[in-house]
Amino acid sequence: MKKLFFLLPTFLLGVTTYPDFSMCYNKFKNYSIIPISKHYSVTSKKQKHFLKYDENLGLYLIKTNNKTYLKFKQSHLGVWLASIKKGSIYTGNYAEYQKKLSIPAKLSTPVKEGSIITDIFCNPIGIGVKGGFLSQKFISPFIKVKPKVIKLLDLFIRKRGEVLSKDMIFDEIYDYDETPNEGSLRTFINNLREIFGKDKIVTIKGRGYKFVG
């Protein structure tokens, strides 16, 4: 008498099967600093010099020159995603959309800060942050920094420890056809003080500013 064998679907056996993200792990495991555009990268690693730090997300924005960068895509609730960082991979379902910058998207599994969130096809979907991940829709708002603030930071770093007069700064950060504005300059200075600390950009009365960061 022949014996018959029946293969039951794994969900009927109470067994959960996970998709294989090993190829994606090999692709993304070495990204401790994540290039997100031609001139910007993000990281969860503490940085001495940065353009922006979001305490809620635990994420630094830094200026870099990237020949290539990751192009993030949108995904949908319920699909399999993985949080990938060197030495770890967490696999789960897309559980909750990101509604605003301060409230990250969620997976059904823990997410490593500074990890790359990817789908099964190795498309980058987001960046791991505190409490979830920064989704594609909110990456552009996160990196929004005024160009003149970046020019001012570049100037301060190049001239670290030197006293820079307002006229010197105006010549560096304004184009020839623009009218310098002292009120705007104070705003740019305050933006950088919020990033580096008030004591890192010193006002030298009657002379200008000095960066000691």
Instruction: Say yes or no: domain 147-211 is CATH 1.10.1660.10.
Output: no
Q: Given a cut of 80, is residue 11 above it in pLDDT?
A: no
What confidence score (pLDDT) does residue 190 get?
85
Please tell me whether residue 22 adopts helix, strand or coil conformation.
helix
Which residues, including other chains, have CB under 8 Å from residue 81's CB and lie 6 or more apart? 75, 91, 92, 93, 94, 107, 117, 118, 119, 125
Condensed to tens digits (0 to 9), the pLDDT of residues 169-187 reads: 999 988 888 888 888 888 8
pTM for this one? Answer: 0.71
Radius of gyration of the chain (CA): 23
Share of residues in the chain with pLDDT > 70 (%)? 92
What confidence score (pLDDT) does residue 6 get?
45
Q: Which residues of 101-113 are buried (b: 16+ CB within 10 A; e: fewer)?
A: eeebbbbeeebbb
Which residues, in sequence order, are bridge partners of residue 204?
A: 208
Which residues, in sequence order, are bridge partners of residue 61?
A: 42, 52
**Is the Cα dihedral 103, 108, 109, 111 positive or negative?**
negative
Dist. CA 56–CA 163, nearest whole Å: 34
Both tokens of 138, joined, read: 């909110």
